[in-house]
Amino acid sequence: MNSSFIAKVFFKHQECQKCPPTKEVVRFFDDLMGILFPGFNSTSYASIAEVEKELDALKTRMPAILNTRYDIDVEKVSIDFFDNIPTIYALLLKDVEALFSGDPAALNTSEVIRTYPGFYAIAAYRFANLLLHLGSVNIPRMITENAHSRTGIDIHPGATIGEYFCIDHGTGVVIGETSEIGNHVKIYQGVTLGALSVNKSDAKTKRHPTIQDHVVIYAGATILGGKTIIGANSIVGGNVWLTKSILENSRVYYQAMMHNENGNESDLIVIKKA
């Protein structure tokens, strides 16, 4: 192995002297989840003081997590992050409610918190989204990509997601950076909210769709494009491919046709008003 290659690797390490190890970022997030939700913790707290002590310990660890080579006010970001934890916690309880009410198989909310991949992925997104808005660089993606590897659910921390969000089953769900999702939206496995264009020059534009309130999107549906809007109270059926907007109260579904005019099999996307 030549010396120039070894030198190149060495200088890369010098550039990243302040980069926190990914495992430390993941451990921080999992420890936070363990404090907020007993199902993620291997111990039980005997007093309020113990909970406060654990949160204080996390506060002490956070500057090391945020202390990257990017120029941010580590102390301010850390303070603002912990000040916003009650707000994120309240949002997550609403997500738990949506997951529980949206799945007939759910026995109780504890089961949802402890076992549902959708909850873990949504929790990772909500804390990562907070960090992103506070100015943190790279750390938000470390958190959501860890959730992605554990659950198969890929939510970009830059997405905008409202209250009472439900991802049922979840494997293969992709939610792009500029997606906007309203309140009381339910998504099944294999759904993609993606972009029509992958040009780097479009990075700062709205590339992903908008999903309005009370929409249900069934398994395997693909919805693409920054100008695509799924109107409120609509249902998008399984395996539907959409690149154009639909009005509110619409029902969109995939229908296989036996033969087209040439005698070949053909498919059809059907849109109906409720």
The average pLDDT across 64-93 equals 89
Residues of the chain with CATH 1.10.3130.10: 19-152
The average pLDDT across 139-153 equals 97
Residues of the chain with CATH 2.160.10.10: 172-274
CA nearest to 227, candidates 159, 156, 162, 178: 178
CA 89 to chain centre: 15
User: Do the Cβ atoms of 221 and 186 come closer than 8 Å?
Assistant: no
Instruction: Answer whether residue 254 shows pLDDT above 90.
Output: no
Tokens in use for 83?
């000040």
Task: Indicate whether this model's pTM tops 0.95.
Answer: no
Instruction: Answer whether residue 16 shows pLDDT above 80.
Output: no
Q: Which CATH class is domain 172-274?
A: mainly beta
Q: In the chain, at which residue ranges do the beta strands (DSSP E only) sit?
A: 154-155, 160-161, 166-167, 174-175, 180-181, 186-187, 192-194, 210-211, 216-217, 222-224, 229-230, 235-236, 241-242, 250-257, 266-273
pLDDT of residue 264: 56
Span 19-152: which CATH code?
Answer: 1.10.3130.10
Q: Considering the chain, what is the average pLDDT of its residues?
A: 90
